[in-house]
Structure 1
Amino acid sequence: MKYILDMHTHTIVSGHAYTTLLENAKYASEIGLQLLGTTDHGPSMPGAPHHWYFGNLKVLPRELFGVTMLYGCEANIIDYEGNLDLPMDIQERIDIMIASIHEPVMEATENADLNTTAFLKTMDNPNVHIIGHPGNPKFPIHEEELIKKAKEKNILIEINNSSFVSSRIGSSKICSKIASLCKEHGVKIILNSDAHFCQRIGNFDAAVEVLKQINMPEELIINRSKTEFLDFLRFKGKKI
């Protein structure tokens, strides 16, 4: 199956990534992606941009090198109340928002009740479209509660390729369980590269291997269709 979109990529603006927006878009075009999301880290991450950066994304073109571009943020969950590190007016204006927990922002805890509560409360925010890398073993969760809430709120669960190959090592078993629960409950997932360098964009190989092991139905993987993904965002209220 050819997957034609990647919604979780970073540019040099994130502070610890290494290619520019134009370099990322050009590479995406070269490998045949139709839709690219640029989602730099929210302001609470060390080295990340001020929230004004996200407020000004409207000046960027909708198409680069023949690739349809979506401009958003990988926002940080900053507390157990599920609050995010972008002002609400900016959350409402950007094209797409991933909500993630990161150790530099939240202290790692083995308390699955607390971590799950943070995610569940975040998912009450109508501006959240994707839950980022929920399989991080440093932040254990009650996986089935997360998946049931995703179904209720029509939020995509990310299977993050980077978690298997370069960060959050130890995620594989948890991500497999999360994907299996998505299969069981009919919850759609999104494969994302979490690329911090352009040549990693669109690479989902490790994540795909996990999905093969559980016989994940293709219809639950939203990366198959540009139209389906844009319709998802429009259903969530985005005018794209």
Structure 2
Amino acid sequence: MNKIRNDLRTHTFFSAGGVSTLQENIEAARDRDIQLLAVTDPFSALVVDEDSAGAGFSENETTDWDAANEEAGDQEEAPISENLDGQEDVLIRESLGVKLLYGCEADIVSPEGYLFGIGLPGKEEYPGDVIFTPDFIVAGVSSRWKPMEISEAKATQMYINVIRDSNVLMLGNLCKTEISCDINELLRVCKELHKPVEIDEQSFLYGDDAVRRIRSLLTKCAEENVLICADSGALSAAKVGQMPRLMAELNEIDFPNDLIMNADSDIFLSNYQKAGFATINTPWGTYQ
């Protein structure tokens, strides 16, 4: 039976629908024997009125990828985990025995793969200010997208563009949407890059079709030896580390534990490095 010791997609009251503080989530993680907890509050039109990177895209607009890069900044910059100037001095990295990472969710808002709010560098408003840089990004299409808005070939390339971004660790929301893509090609690229697809407990709330997509995706990942992250998607402390339906699916198909990237912190950190996230400086280790 699989056991998952890390929860890499949780939210605080900074997320739409979030009701917990980070401290409440940490306390819940400790009580449930979670080794490593990531908070992933979003860059999303659900919580921010305007795209702060200035490109001004919406889910229903298309734009040229080169023009997007020109306006929003070079998406092929060094991984964000290598650019944490001053940040490690202010972030809590361990509390109550729980290790902490700070990720974010980012909506994919154009068929070319532009991520909401990502692109332009931050700037210091006052001497000594620290610009928050997440350890990793979970990228996924907004639930507002409709299947007819993008072809299968375009959706496949969109996801591949996104997962090749050095700042994106994993794709989320694949089972929450009816958008069709060439899943075999997408998983091939994910495997090549040592990056997981992410499935969270909240995906089961999207109905029977979503459940069928979850089962199909898990089966395909097991067959092709592709990593997954299995997370709670918790919006409250009560849900941190809780994923009963997802665990039932994993156990039903006897999903290999070593393909669950967040099964424990050693498996996660090993694959985190392989995915190109080369440096994290924390009280619990420096990984290079």
State whether structure 2 residue 200 is matched by structure 1 residue 200. Answer: no
Give the letter for the 1:233 counterpart: Y
> Is the CA contact 1:9–1:201 (under 8 Å) kept in the aligned structure 2?
yes
2:91 pairs with 1:60: yes
Unaligned runs of 5+ in 2: 54-79, 123-131, 281-288
Query: 1:48: how far off?
Result: 4.3
Whole-angstrom CA distance in 2 between matches of 1:217 and 1:223: 12
Shift of residue 207, structure 1, vs aligned partner: 1.0
1:87 is paired with a residue whose SS is: coil
Single out whichever of 153-162 and 57-66 deviates more from structure 2: 57-66
- On the 8 A contact 1:130/1:158 being kept in 2, the answer is yes
Contact 1:137–1:170 (Cα < 8 Å) also in 2: no
| Residue correspondence of structure 1 range 5-154 to structure 2 within 5 A | 5-42=6-43, 44-48=44-48, 58=88, 59-85=90-116, 86-87=118-119, 89=121, 93-104=133-144, 107-110=145-148, 111-154=151-194
- TM-score relative to the length of structure 2: 0.74
Count of aligned positions: 235
Structure number with bigger Rg: 2
Find the aligned partners of 1:136 and 1:181 in 2 and give their Cα distance.
17
- Would you say 1:160 and 2:192 are equivalent positions? no
When normalised by structure 1's length, the TM-score is 0.87
Greater share of helix: 1
Letter paired with 1:36: L
1:176–1:210 Cα contact (<8 Å) kept: yes
Asked whether the equivalents of residues 158 and 191 of structure 1 are also in contact (C-alpha less than 8 Å), the reply is yes
Hey, which bits of structure 1, 4+ residues long, moved more than 4 A?
A: 48-52, 54-58
Instruction: Kindly provide the CA deviation profile for residues 198-230 of structure 1, in whole angstroms up to 9, marking residues without a partner as x.
Output: 111111211122222322112211222201212
Asked if structure 1 preserves the Cα contact closer than 8 Å seen for 2:42 and 2:106, the reply is yes
How far, CA to CA, are the matches of 1:19 and 1:48 in structure 2? 19
Identity of aligned residues (%): 27
Give the unaligned 5+ runs of structure 1: none
Cα distance between partner residues in 1 of 2:237 and 2:154: 35
